[in-house]
Amino acid sequence: MAATPIEVERDGPVVRVWLSRPEKLNPLGTATLEDLVALYESFATDFDVRVVVLGGRGPSFSAGADLTAPPGSEHMARGGGAGERERRWWSQLGRRAVGAIADAEVVTIARLHGNVLGGGLCLALACDFRVAAVDARLGLPEVDLGLPLTWGGTARLVHEVGAARARQLILLTEPVSGAEAAGWGLVHRAVPADELDAAVDAWAGRLAAKPEAAVHMAKSQFRALSRLSGLGDTTETDGDLLLATGLR
């Protein structure tokens, strides 16, 4: 993982995953998303891991997808040689990264500060818990950019905070602070920025200390309920929407 824009730190049963392109506010490009998929899927058989914390280096968690080189675009271009199935596969890379986090066999926490925008917010929504700095900016600018919200973001946002708040965040495109997000239930806790690491570490430690089998079975139940709500079926349409509209 050293050659990629992700850093992984292990601290006993807690793993910290860092998005690590701080000079560009941790944009989500092909390599980053591919590594997230592989890493979070690997926890299924990494039995020493109990909790995974996802954070961002530098001043922000993530400003979203890399618009200068959209995820998968280099594979879909390929001199015009990519077929429809290959293009569909790469157009769904963001959805697969979100799904890998949501389906992880361990408890997941998002550590949020600075900008938490677009695809960055989609990644955070896939985590079991979200702890934010009170002055973090959480938002979805896609509509103002002329893009639909993909990566399963609409369905997951409605599932977490309800249709009214989801509509407000998606259509008005106005970011909310970490403090406001806590009031919405979009994050579980908001704290001053200088207390963020302590708060996240405390939650990670508490969760890691709980009975392993009971935590795993409880998470499995929540995951099953999410699937029954249609999250998986809805997110499958993302890549097809982008292909049909010519946005990828």
The pLDDT tens digits for 193-247 are 999 999 999 999 999 999 999 999 999 999 888 887 767 554 445 544 444 444 4
- Please tell me the distance from the alpha carbon of residue 35 to that of residue 42, in angstroms, as a whole number: 10
Q: Which among 181, 99, 96, 175 is positioned nearest to 140, based on CA atoms? A: 175
Is pLDDT above 80 for 3? no
More confident residue, 162 or 81: 162
CA 158 – CA 25 distance, rounded (Å): 26
Q: Encode pLDDT of 106-147 as tens digits.
A: 999 999 999 999 999 999 999 999 999 999 999 999 999 999
Alpha helices in 15-118 (DSSP H): 30-42, 73-77, 84-91, 93-102
**What is the pLDDT averaged over residues 4-20?**
95
Chain Cα centroid distance, residue 22: 17
Phi, psi of 93 (to 5 degrees): -60, -45
Work out the percent of the chain whose per-residue pLDDT is above 70. 86
Architecture of domain 6-197+210-245: Alpha-Beta Complex (3.90)
Give this prediction's pTM. 0.89
Mean of the per-residue pLDDT values for the chain? 89
Q: Exposure of 180 by Cβ count < 10 A (0-12 exposed, 13-18 middle, 19+ buried)? A: middle
For the beta carbon of residue 141, count every other beta carbon within 10 angstroms: 17
The packing angle between helices 93-102 and 238-245, to 10°, is: 160
Q: Which of 13, 6, 10 is nearest to 51 (CA)?
A: 13
Distance CA(199)–CA(65), nearest Å, equals: 27
Q: Where are the domains of the chain?
A: 6-197+210-245
Q: Count of residues for the chain? A: 248
The two beta strands, 51-56 and 6-11, are unpaired
Q: Sign of the CA dihedral 175, 180, 185, 187?
A: positive
Provide the residue type at 70 as one letter: P
Confidence (pLDDT) at 78: 56
Q: From 90, 89, 95, 94, select the one nearest 74 (Cα to Cα).
A: 90
Write the CB contacts of 89 (distance below 8 Å, at least 6 apart in sequence).
Answer: 72, 239
Query: What is the rounded distance in angstroms from the CA atom of residue 215 to the CA atom of residue 20?
Result: 30
For 77-108, the pLDDT digits (tens) are: 655 566 778 778 778 999 999 999 999 999 99
Q: Is pLDDT of 33 > 50? A: yes
* Predicted confidence (pLDDT) at residue 170 exceeds the cutoff of 90: yes
- Cα 90 to Cα 221: distance, rounded to the nearest angstrom: 30
